[in-house]
Amino acid sequence: MSLAHAVLTSLLEKSSSGYDLARRFDKSIGYFWHATHQQIYRELARMDAAGWLESFVPPDAGKTRKKHYRVLDAGRAELARWTHEPAEPMDLRDTITLKLRADAVLGEVDLVPELRRHLALHQERLVKYRDIEARDFPAGKALTRAQAIQHLILKKGIRYEEAELAWGREMLTLLCATRSPSR
Amino acid sequence: MSLAHAVLTSLLEKSSSGYDLARRFDKSIGYFWHATHQQIYRELARMDAAGWLESFVPPDAGKTRKKHYRVLDAGRAELARWTHEPAEPMDLRDTITLKLRADAVLGEVDLVPELRRHLALHQERLVKYRDIEARDFPAGKALTRAQAIQHLILKKGIRYEEAELAWGREMLTLLCATRSPSR
DNA sequence: TGCTCCATGTAACACGTTACATGATTGC
DNA sequence: GCAATCATGTAACGTGTTACATGGAGCA
What is the 3-class SS of chain A, one letter each residue?
A: CCHHHHHHHHHHHCCCEHHHHHHHCCCCHHHCCCCCHHHHHHHHHHHHHHCCEEEECCCCCCCCCCCEEEECHHHHHHHHHHHCCCCCCCCCCCHHHHHHHHHHHHCCCCCHHHHHHHHHHHHHHHHHHHHHHHHHCCCCCCCCHHHHHHHHHHHHHHHHHHHHHHHHHHHHHHHHHCCCCCC
Between residues B41 and A91, the one the model is more confident about: B41
Query: A3 CA to C15 C1', in Å?
Result: 9
pLDDT of A182 over the 70 cut:
no
Q: For B90-111, what is the mean pLDDT?
A: 91
pLDDT of B33 over the 60 cut:
yes
Nucleotides of D under 7 A from a protein CB: 6-12, 14-19, 23-25
Nucleotides of C under 7 A from a protein CB: 6-12, 14-19, 23-25
Nucleic acid strand C within 7 Å of A35 CB: yes
**Out of A34, A106, A153, closest to residue B101 by CB:** A153
pLDDT of A183 over the 60 cut:
no
Q: What is the mean pLDDT of chain A?
A: 93
Q: What does the pLDDT look like over A28-59, one tens digit per residue?
A: 788 889 999 999 999 999 999 999 999 998 87
* Cβ–Cβ gap B32/A97 under 8 Å: yes
DSSP string, B92-127: ---HHHHHHHHHHHH-----HHHHHHHHHHHHHHHH
Q: How confident is the model at residue B163 (pLDDT cuts 50, 70, 90)?
A: very high
Q: A92 CB contacts (<8 Å, ≥6 apart)?
A: B31, B32, B33, B90, B157, B160
Nucleic acid strand C within 7 Å of B45 CB: yes
Q: How confident is the model at residue B182 (pLDDT cuts 50, 70, 90)?
A: low
Name residues 59-78 of chain A with a Cβ under 7 Å from nucleic strand C.
Answer: 62-65
Q: How many CB atoms lie within 10 A of CB A7?
A: 28
Predicted model pTM: 0.93
In the A/B pair of chains, how many CB contacts fall below 8 A? 207
pLDDT of A26 over the 80 cut:
yes
Q: How far apart are CA A117 and CA A106, in angstroms?
A: 21
Name residues 103-162 of chain B with a Cβ under 7 Å from nucleic strand C.
Answer: none
Nucleic acid strand C within 7 Å of B22 CB: yes
The pLDDT of residue A88 is 85
pLDDT of B60 over the 90 cut:
no
Q: For A62-74, what is the mean pLDDT?
A: 90
Q: How far apart are CA A123 and CA A129, in angstroms?
A: 10
The pLDDT of residue B61 is 66
* Cβ–Cβ gap B102/A82 under 8 Å: yes
HSE at residue B39, side-chain half, CA atoms within 13 A, is: 17
Query: B6 CA to D10 C1', in Å?
Result: 33
Q: Are A17 and A69 in contact (CB under 8 A)?
A: yes
Q: A125 CB contacts (<8 Å, ≥6 apart)?
A: A31, A157, A161, B89
The pLDDT of residue A32 is 85
Q: How far is B9 from chain A (nearest CA, A)?
A: 5
Q: Which residue is nearest to nucleotide C16 (CA to C1')?
A: A39
Q: For A13-22, what is the mean pLDDT?
A: 95
Q: For A66-83, what is the mean pLDDT?
A: 96
Q: What does the pLDDT look like over A108-160, one tens digit per residue?
A: 899 999 999 999 999 999 999 999 999 999 999 999 999 999 999 999 999 99
Q: How confident is the model at residue B179 (pLDDT cuts 50, 70, 90)?
A: confident
What's the DSSP call for residue B171? H
The pLDDT of residue B131 is 94
